[in-house]
Amino acid sequence: MIVNKDENRVHPPPRLADQLTMQGVKQIADVTSGRLRRSFWFLVVCSGLTFSAFNIAKQVQLYLSVPVNVDIDVRLAQTLQFPTVTVCNTNMFKKSEMDQLNLTGALKEAFIYDFQESVKFDDTNYDFSVVDVDSIETAMFKYGFDVNDSVIKCDWMQQECDATHLTEMKTEIGVCFSFNVNGSTSTVGSGRHYGLHLLLDAQSEEFTRSRENTEGPGFMIAVHSPDVPLLMNDIGMALTPGSQYFYGVELATTTSPKGMDQCGSKRLKYYNKPYSREACRIECLTEYALEQCSCRDIYMPGNGKQCSAVKGLQCLVPAMYRYPSTLRECESSCPQTCSYTTFNVRSSSSLRMTQEYLSTLASATNKTPDYWRSNYVAVDVYLSSMTYQSIEKRYGYSVLELFCDIGGALSLVLGASVVTGVELIDFAVQRLCAYWCYKSNTKRINVKSLQ
């Protein structure tokens, strides 16, 4: 019988220098070289490892910081969407109507000035039975201002427009009117001749109180996207009687990948239109009003019951004053949308009109120049350019770029790569296998002493 002598031979374990392609390792493991040369290469490899580890740590830190690149492109368009323009009279109700109902004092008690101490409104001091309406909305439409009360003249692209082009809109400061409420109107040029021109009558003698502490007659104006519900307190600008205002508008579109800067969307309870943060915030206000007063304001969505005039003064108004001081956890869960259109406004104003202009206007309207000096407001809203900004945000450092930089840091000094890591794993597996084979082929021999 022939016995193979190599059958049980234990092969020597693999050496790291033979398995690894990283530069410098073979020089360190070369036993034929002198100690000085091997020590030199050992220092070179250690320095290379330190350099690579430092740079890899910096690249990983950069990746974890989630850098963002912003690409801004200015584009010329033949036609551009015109924004929605909303104008609100700061006065809630006409003084003549409130005096007739003996409720002017109720308004002054419910809507105090900012320097006055807050007191609880007592509705028993007033007779609200004379108000033959069942909600705040009905009261505002009946005793407040409508489009015909406020607008003297309306021109769009130098063509006359009228009240049919202006749509009533309910906001947190009352019933307002809007131009281009559905966003269907576009313009073909920039400048005042291709924009909206409004002449307004503030009717200062009818001023009683404002809902939002704008202590004086006049208007609030907002230039906004038609796709986003309006919060006048966020973007509204004041229009003072006796002045002319010019608003040049620039359009910009912004897109971001989902999740960047925590942008996104959520399902809304009351709105069916595309998600917006403003709509989410209005829903938070609605839920708070329903929780505090079991009724809602005129601008709040849903099928909940609208507050009556008494309930509005007694409960809703104080609740809305308290809302900013709450934790507002609801609003913190409203993310910003990832794609949106903004209208950036640049404004200027002229604080005087000539006496001739006021006299001519007075003759045309059967009113005095002094009246128009205290009530006249002229507004021009137009695009300042037919170019628009396209802003695109994107992640500035991807996973692929991270691995490329790690590979560059490893190969620059050490000549290593991802395959080097695979070689290290393969070497460790071979060493374990060699150790296991050595243990399994080793026999313990017990030597007994001869007697």
Q: Give the model confidence (pLDDT) of 137-187 as tens digits.
A: 888 888 889 888 899 999 999 999 877 789 999 999 889 999 999 988 999
Query: What's the average model confidence in pLDDT over 326-343?
Result: 89
Higher pLDDT, 24 or 314: 314
Confidence of residue 276 (pLDDT cuts 50, 70, 90): very high
Which residue in 315, 317, 325 sits closest to 292, CA to CA? 315
Q: Which helix (H) or strand (E) holds 64?
A: helix 35-64
Range of lowest pLDDT (121-130, 161-170, 293-302, 364-373): 121-130
Residue 415: count of CB within 10 angstroms of its CB: 13
Confidence of residue 14 (pLDDT cuts 50, 70, 90): low
Confidence of residue 1 (pLDDT cuts 50, 70, 90): very low
pLDDT score recorded for residue 449 = 47
pLDDT score recorded for residue 3 = 44
Which residue in 243, 240, 176, 172 sits closest to 204, CA to CA? 240
Query: What's the average model confidence in pLDDT over 293-316?
Result: 90
Supply φ then ψ for residue 25, to 5 degrees: -70, -40
Query: What's the average model confidence in pLDDT over 417-428?
Result: 74
Q: Compute the residue count for the chain.
A: 451
Q: How far apart are CA 151 and CA 377, in angstroms?
A: 10
Confidence of residue 201 (pLDDT cuts 50, 70, 90): very high
Whether the pLDDT of residue 72 is over 50: the answer is: yes
Q: How far apart are CA 185 and CA 169, in angstroms?
A: 17
pLDDT score recorded for residue 136 = 83
Higher pLDDT, 4 or 289: 289
Parallel, antiparallel or unpaired: strands 196-201 and 166-171: unpaired
pLDDT score recorded for residue 361 = 87
Which residue in 382, 386, 394 sits closest to 74, CA to CA? 386
Whether the pLDDT of residue 225 is over 50: the answer is: yes
Whether the pLDDT of residue 220 is over 70: the answer is: yes
Confidence of residue 438 (pLDDT cuts 50, 70, 90): low
Considering the entire predicted model, what is its pTM? 0.79
Q: Which helix (H) or strand (E) holds 233?
A: helix 232-235
pLDDT score recorded for residue 41 = 82
Query: What's the average model confidence in pLDDT over 298-314?
Result: 89
Residue 156 β-bridge partners: 159, 196
The tens digit of pLDDT for each residue in 350-390 reads 877 788 888 998 998 889 999 998 999 999 999 999 999 99
Confidence of residue 2 (pLDDT cuts 50, 70, 90): very low
Q: How far apart are CA 48 and CA 43, in angstroms?
A: 9
Q: How far apart are CA 49 and CA 252, in angstroms?
A: 48
Range of lowest pLDDT (75-84, 302-311, 380-389, 438-447): 438-447
Whether the pLDDT of residue 7 is over 60: the answer is: no
Which residue in 239, 308, 253, 319 sits closest to 286, CA to CA? 319
pLDDT score recorded for residue 261 = 83
Q: Are 60 and 397 in contact (CB under 8 A)?
A: no
The tens digit of pLDDT for each residue in 244-273 reads 999 999 999 999 998 888 899 999 999 988
Range of lowest pLDDT (48-52, 57-61, 224-228, 337-341): 48-52
Burial level of 169, CB count in 10 A (0-12/13-18/19+)? buried
Confidence of residue 112 (pLDDT cuts 50, 70, 90): confident
Average pLDDT, the chain: 85
Higher pLDDT, 383 or 35: 383
Confidence of residue 9 (pLDDT cuts 50, 70, 90): low
Instruction: Report the largest interatomic distance among the alpha carbons of the chain, rounded to a whole angstrom.
Output: 145
pLDDT score recorded for residue 445 = 46
